[in-house]
Amino acid sequence: MSIARILHLEALIFLYGLAGTVAYQMLTGRINVSGLLAQKKKVKRGRPNTSPERVQLLLATLAAASNYLGQVARAPAGTLPDISYQWLYLMGGSSGIYALGKAWNTLKHKKSR
Amino acid sequence: MAQIYGVLFSAFLGLLGLTILWLIWTRRINLTDLLNEANGQASMSRFQLLVFTFVIAISLFGVTEAKKDFPDIPSGILTLLGISASTYAVGKGISYSAPEVMMGTGPSGDGDDSDEEADDAATHADDAKAHADAAKQAAQQAQEALNAQRAVAQQAADSAAQAKQAAEQAKVTKS
């Protein structure tokens, strides 16, 4: 077995091992994901409120990630596909909504004090 | 000589990777707060950056393996990672510009304060109503117990009066 092959296997094991470990720990709760979709401190009858801007960012992120993985799987071997402008606009808009929502809530809190 | 360096380098990298994975599994490298902000809640922008990083890294690895050469990175990927990293940085900046909101030590800064106050008031009203119902029920039970006591006392008084009357009749009969 050549050194290149060994290095390839090492990188493969490390990369997929790390991704699998992180995914496993998130699913089993060892990596804390509580409050991922919740508004900060906002409590309605004992339950945290779900934040719409966080939900839409999560959906856009998962959609863009799965779409790109699909493009990579369909692309000719050895080429890294580009991301279309539509998806970039989507992610830019989604992230912008998230950041604006966060800024708005923070500004509103500062005013109310 | 190059062969020896290559073997040493690959052994070093392999040991490093396995050690990191092993330390993560044994929790000596603690990933619990990987997505957390300073207030202990998970951050959506951190999660997004994590997802994109893994997706791009795995794709890049697969393409490099197939091509046997490092491919050109399309500008779209760089833009996407830039958007994600910028969102994370902007979010962090907003959070740290008002630490009391992030840490939850002040009044809520997320959404309508009036809604939250109305919710709190409704919760308090529900609690008060439940307490009032319990107090009313207890008062009814106390009233019933008092009535029963009065009835028993009345019966005792009647019995005593009858006994007294009987005793007086017996006394008259004897005399």
Chain B residues with beta carbon closer than 8 angstroms to that of A110: 98, 101, 109
Map out the domains of chain B as residue ranges.
1-31, 33-106, 123-175
Per DSSP (E only), the strands in chain A are 38-44, 47-50
pLDDT score at B40: 82
Q: Is the pLDDT of residue A66 over 70?
A: yes
Q: What is the band of B53 on the pLDDT scale with cuts at 50, 70, 90?
A: very high
Q: What is the band of A113 on the pLDDT scale with cuts at 50, 70, 90?
A: low
Chain A residues with beta carbon closer than 8 angstroms to that of B92: none
Q: What is the band of B37 on the pLDDT scale with cuts at 50, 70, 90?
A: confident
Own/partner pairs for B95-101, CB < 8 Å, 24+ apart?
B95/A102, B95/A106, B95/B37, B95/B38, B97/A106, B98/A106, B98/A109, B98/A110, B99/B38, B100/A109, B100/A113, B101/A40, B101/A41, B101/A105, B101/A106, B101/A109, B101/A110
Task: Answer whether A61 sits within 8 Å of B48, measured CB to CB.
Answer: yes
> Count of H helices and E strands in chain A?
3, 2
Q: What confidence tens digit (pLDDT) does each residue in B100-158 have?
A: 766 665 544 444 455 556 666 777 888 888 888 888 998 999 999 999 999 999 999 99
Q: Is the pLDDT of residue A110 over 80?
A: no
Rounded percentage of chain B residues whose pLDDT exceeds 70: 88
**SS3 label, residue A26:** helix
Q: How far is CA B41 from the centre of its chain?
A: 9
Picking from A51, A82, A110, the nearest residue to B74 by CB comes out as A82
Residues 6+ apart with CB under 8 A from A21: B21, B24, B25, B31
Give yes or no for A42 touching B (CB within 8 A). Answer: yes
